[in-house]
Structure 1
């Protein structure tokens, strides 16, 4: 049930079987827990009055609201009409479980695995395939592309979003290039932050615990009829893993792989009038991401830990226009700047000199999008738009200079319901990029059949491509020396020395053909609500780019083909004071080497490199319980088997006490984590000295 409030006289109407009222400036929705949360402007079109003749037949919905999805097609749809499985993780669940880092959220998603490969930098993947820097997932924050532009990695540690500010995360599980373009190869992650209207006042939180975990968060905001804003700050520190294996001596030695980062964010929503609104967002990240001398630069004779100085910022503006009760438009522009300074003193073995070297890189992204949503009839809706992006880079080490790539695209998706038991979704994205030889078209077609009042069966077919990123295609990698000593080697000043690499520039785009059959059902269970979603998938991945990425060992090529099939399950059972949630995924993967002649062991290695996060069985179980006296607990179990070195299993327990008063609310919590696996599942260097981890949290709101 959606409830809208306004100082103006309320005018009830019916859209999609949900009772709503019109309002000129602000909109709120009751989420699945009955909490009041602001609707983003793209949802405000649903708040406008429509005539009784303009009512889609959503009569098969239960009295309880079917979860709404914004990400998959860029249309707001109930799960029963979405063309593909989409996981919704509510921000409240993230906070109930005591999840400490953003990337840990994805352990709750069927088919997703995450870990740390040789450092504190986490990687996350859907269906296991993962280039070292996770180039096959589209990640967005409030509609802004969030992965790095040219190295195309996802730096989860420096992602400029605090868990306290997250309203929900939607994960479209499957190729979604029809809506988002070439990087939505395996899926799309859309992080939606809370409206400033929902976070007005002061909120302060802190946590402290094992592995040097230290976090402080604070936000302040204000809400009025016309302007809502929030300013937030977060300080995040962690010492990383306790120890690693030295490559030369094979001894256990300390691991220098922590981070200390500061985040600043400003969010504002301005209602200009009943039809026009403006969103403004800005943020900055500053700090240090540690790199261990043994993990990078040691072969070039590093004399110190080559820590990374992080200095990022972004600006984003979005204008929303409601032309009529059937027509909604937005224009969005954003600019992001990623600055990474990584410098160290090196004395190459046997070279007879020492010098300063670096792996500095400065990246930026300019992005523009126009999106138009049109309700042509009660049974026909369409979203269409166009986008433009410029990704720039400047790195003497990685590219021997500067450059840029350009991307243009046009997209559309149509939802058509000819009868109330059948919905078709047809969509596609045409794209032209300087990283592609030819323009590409990524289609998707789906049919959703209503089996009963509360059950839907989907059939989905989609295609997608992923283009090589600038580093894969155009790397010109080498180390230029400065401050050379002794003077006898001064002739080397300003020259590139040691191993050098120039990419061939002949890589082709990757291709995927995906087929999905999935079922969604929602039922009453006594006094609770049971929701379940089951997916069968069969995917063909071709021309996958695999190989080693290092200056002295570079062999990238389109040399792997993968066939994947399996089943994924997501289910939840919710009562007023109890919530259970279960996920499970099974995947069978067959890999084939399709490159040039190599020995059998090398061919298998190329396949294995794309299977480091592949798990045959994976899943999670969550139990959240609320007791009397404002005490609650949350128990979670996460598992993934047959990863690179073994299985991953962990149990988390969080206990919290809340105190509510008329003027101030506060809470105190403790989080226990216990690792059940005996060895690091992905990298032998990620060693924890204690399987038991403890964290303490406290927060106050007024």
Structure 2
């Protein structure tokens, strides 16, 4: 041990305190376009490989474009994919995307990331932006996602577009390693009644939906109750991580001439258990952890007009309220107001230009405790941005997209987020693309305002000098259909990181503070494809490989920082098979392989899942789902407290009318 480590300040317990703070925040993270297909279909069920390549995606350029033409690494999870997989939650649905690493740490806690840094320096994943119908759901407290607070009625999800790679130009700060854009079905596509019942070895849920029309308007309402059972550790110890939640939601859509309107609202309340084994101790006294109480409500409204000259104008606004009580550490109440304007201009020569503006304001109030404090306890923040993008047709088979966003935040001022993307149509069914981008993750209250009491007088003080974490990204991709029935995509990427967050010992040797003294690289490849073996049998596969290197910059004493790379697998593999016996019976089998994690150590594992679906009648479907059929395994977190993900068997009944 170095002389620095032998001074009166003892960094090991202090670093443990910092990890405890991050764990409290991250528990659950280790916790609308109606255009569908170029052919005009409004249902993704039973699409051919060729039709899937023509799906209209909007997340890359914020305008409809064919998946084959999109100059980015995009994987689309369709509504039928979700149904066939038997997913019971949004994180389970995201396992279908081969360009994501989805790791479950408890009954409700997930760590989800793309292209590495799945939890950097004792923090939850914080470089992935998640949108639900245009509403950002990342938490400004730590730039991550409380996944338990994003529970959706999956039967209402139309598609999920997963972009691995930077999306800062279109979506702003925090879209560093990926963007998940979730779109729910328009109300007109969910008419009539629906009821869902699911029961399994790990709990169950019940949901209903009722849709109708009134004049020019379509509407729906839904409700859902769920309960997840407690988990066990690998040693067989019970973890008090059960989860109960109730929610109600509505959506209304209507059109009048060139105008379309949409209103979307949700309310929820939940209770989550906290694991007692390994209860946090900062000052040497064990803490008894109570249940986490969550609640939230959001309301979004969107207006869109098709202009006479071929352009488009849209305005979206939303209000979002959440409250999270995590005894005995802290309670946070957060309100967000967001307003966005977008204008797509008519085509002008070879140029297709769009621009937009976004204004977001938050009111954040934390009830502090003797364990953790955010100072000041109440804080207001504003994010304001302007962005523009121009798609230039250099020739019929070659296009160049140039875009940039300037976004201002209260901590680091103006951030510049440019991108350049080149797309080359090699042949009607083959496309090559390349991109250069710069994006950032802006500091949060965890980085700047977090304090942990201790002697003297704090173990941790916030880092007022923390800078934005910067990623400069180069990508090269191919997407094509070599012959009928086969489609595949491959992307190589190289990320250059700078100013990554570190935990520094103050020169006085009395406390820790956050700094920005780490840099590094991540290089990898991601591939996936589908093959229609016969009219009844479809096979698909996905593979990722990742190599990360992080190093401290001069002046840093955070020896643990480079170990952040150990939270990601070096490779993942998934294989899926779907077979339709007839128009009433189908079988889906999936096999996943995830390599080992190093920090904390988690062995690599295989997971075998299967679902058999049987349409008993025109309006009644029964399915049996089995997960981890080959045995239990751990996925994320320290061995002493992480959940052992065991075999699960469940039955689901869906009735429609």
TM-score greater than 0.5 by the shorter chain: yes
Deviation at 1:627, TM superposition (A): 0.8
- Give the structure 2 partner of residue 607 of structure 1: 562
Report Cα offsets for 1:481-523 as digits up to 9, x if no partner.
xxxxxxxxxxxxxxx9996643131101111111111001024
- Contact 1:330–1:370 under 8 Å retained in 2: yes
Could you say what secondary structure the match of 2:91 adopts?
helix
- Contact 1:328–1:374 under 8 Å retained in 2: yes
1:33 aligned to 2:46?
yes
Aligned partner (choices 411, 420, 424) of residue 445 of structure 1: 420
1:635, 1:119 → 2: CA distance? Answer: 23
Q: Which aligned pairs between 1:36-55 and structure 2 lie closer than 5 A?
A: none
- Contact 1:557–1:595 under 8 Å retained in 2: no
Structure 1 stretch displaced more, 158-167 or 360-369? 158-167
- Contact 1:626–1:632 under 8 Å retained in 2: yes
Aligned partner (choices 623, 628, 632) of residue 582 of structure 2: 628
- Give the structure 2 partner of residue 321 of structure 1: 305
Report Cα offsets for 1:335-357 as digits up to 9, x if no partner.
1011112335xxxxxxxxxxxxx
Distance 1:577 1:210, change over 3 A: same
CA RMSD of aligned residues (A): 2.9
Distance 1:556 1:240, change over 3 A: farther
1:285, 1:606 → 2: CA distance? Answer: 37
Distance 1:591 1:675, change over 3 A: farther
1:377, 1:32 → 2: CA distance? Answer: 37
Could you say what secondary structure the match of 1:659 adopts?
strand
Aligned partner (choices 400, 404, 410) of residue 424 of structure 1: 400
1:82, 1:411 → 2: CA distance? Answer: 19
- Give the structure 1 partner of residue 596 of structure 2: 642
Deviation at 1:32, TM superposition (A): 6.7
- Contact 2:473–2:494 under 8 Å retained in 1: yes
Report Cα offsets for 1:631-659 as digits up to 9, x if no partner.
11100111210223221321101011103
- Contact 1:149–1:365 under 8 Å retained in 2: no
1:259 aligned to 2:243?
yes
Could you say what secondary structure the match of 2:231 adopts?
coil
1:473, 1:289 → 2: CA distance? Answer: 28
Which one has the largest radius of gyration? 1
- Give the structure 1 partner of residue 490 of structure 2: 534
- Contact 1:119–1:686 under 8 Å retained in 2: no
Deviation at 1:298, TM superposition (A): 4.8
Mind listing any 5+ residue stretches in structure 2 that lack a counterpart? 1-32
Aligned partner (choices 299, 319, 322) of residue 335 of structure 1: 319
- Give the structure 2 partner of residue 140 of structure 1: 131
- Contact 1:650–1:674 under 8 Å retained in 2: yes
1:112, 1:162 → 2: CA distance? Answer: 21
Mind listing any 5+ residue stretches in structure 1 that lack a counterpart? 6-15, 21-27, 36-60, 246-251, 345-357, 480-495
2:463, 2:582 → 1: CA distance? Answer: 65
Could you say what secondary structure the match of 1:698 adopts?
strand
Structure 1 stretch displaced more, 262-271 or 684-693? 684-693
Could you say what secondary structure the match of 2:189 adopts?
helix
Aligned partner (choices 61, 65, 72) of residue 77 of structure 1: 65
Deviation at 1:396, TM superposition (A): 3.0
Report Cα offsets for 1:595-642 as digits up to 9, x if no partner.
5353xxx62x2112x224311111211111111261111001112102
- Give the structure 1 partner of residue 383 of structure 2: 407
- Contact 2:234–2:634 under 8 Å retained in 1: no
Structure 1 stretch displaced more, 677-686 or 646-655? 677-686
Deviation at 1:377, TM superposition (A): 4.0
- Give the structure 2 partner of residue 367 of structure 1: 338
1:63, 1:179 → 2: CA distance? Answer: 26
Distance 1:143 1:259, change over 3 A: same
Aligned length: 607
- Contact 1:405–1:435 under 8 Å retained in 2: no
Could you say what secondary structure the match of 2:336 adopts?
strand
Aligned partner (choices 427, 433, 438) of residue 458 of structure 1: 433
- Give the structure 1 partner of residue 221 of structure 2: 231
Could you say what secondary structure the match of 1:179 adopts?
helix
- Contact 1:473–1:504 under 8 Å retained in 2: yes
Could you say what secondary structure the match of 1:596 adopts?
coil
Distance 1:217 1:30, change over 3 A: closer
- Give the TM-score normalised by the residue count of structure 2: 0.86
Deviation at 1:331, TM superposition (A): 0.6
1:678, 1:670 → 2: CA distance? Answer: 19
- Contact 1:392–1:404 under 8 Å retained in 2: yes
Could you say what secondary structure the match of 2:237 adopts?
strand
- Give the structure 2 partner of residue 114 of structure 1: 102
2:589, 2:140 → 1: CA distance? Answer: 38
Aligned partner (choices 441, 465, 470) of residue 511 of structure 1: 470
